[in-house]
Amino acid sequence: MTLRARAVEFFVEPRTAPPPGGVPPEAAAPPAAAPPSAFLAPVPDTRAERPRPATRLPLRAAVLGAATEALPVGAVLANALRTAAGAPAAGLAIWTPGRAAPRGGPAAPAASRLAARLTARGIPAAARGRHAVLALADHPVAATVTVRRAAGALEAPLVSVLAGPRCDVVERLLAEQDLVVVACSEPDGPLARLAVAGCAVAAIACAPPPPGPVRWAARSGLAGRRSLPAALRSLVAELAALPGPEPLEAAW
């Protein structure tokens, strides 16, 4: 060994030869650190454990017939739907083309609040009894638009008294109702049967309350569901007992 080689060996550490099997274990790269356990364990989905809320859309009904007969029936029907739904007040839309719509009167506080909410949304309403009364315009298109706006804004039952001709616009509105009632003095007559047969939803004909205190109480929004015929009361109970639609879950 030369003098230069000895000097280099003195200052530089000699390289060790690798073992026959390959790279020594101590020279291998250290293992990667394990990810946190939060990234390994999936987050449990608690939505399935939550109770699904029961939803029920408020009932919508329409009453057909002359104004003198349809108005008391519509008022009593609104009270019947309100009682079935457990609501403190109900909406009553009145369409009487060519006639002055009934005005407000003594009302319950819940009806006054309901009328105020509708008026604040651009749907003029007046309170009477336990109803928020909407006076619809004479034109059928404007009347049906107001009814649909009120139906979307109300969380209470809504009854539409339609005392005008059954044009195509009115027929489309009737198809959106849960119940159609034909108010006439002869519910078993041929005209009543023809009107009921022309409805695409559940429909029934009934006679209005007799003249006197019962009809006055009905028009004032104070008459109860006992003023309705037994067949109509049972139909209202069946509609109110139907299960509501399943709630929709939106993915955000």
| The CATH number of domain 60-241 is 3.40.50 | yes
**For residue range 149-205, what is the model confidence (pLDDT) as tens digits?**
999 888 899 999 999 999 999 999 999 999 999 999 899 999 999 999 989 899 999
**For residue range 107-162, what is the model confidence (pLDDT) as tens digits?**
889 999 999 999 999 999 999 888 999 999 999 999 999 999 999 888 899 999 99
Cα angle for residues 235, 240, 245 (degrees, 5° grid): 130
DSSP state of 61: E
For 45, 93, 94, 133, 170, the CA distances from 99, given in Å and listed in that order, are: 59, 14, 11, 15, 18
- Sorted by sequence, the CB contacts under 8 Å of residue 149 that are 6+ apart come out as 121, 122, 123
Quick one: which H or E segment has residue 40? helix 37-40
Evaluate if pTM is beyond 0.75. no
Domains of the chain, residue spans: 60-241
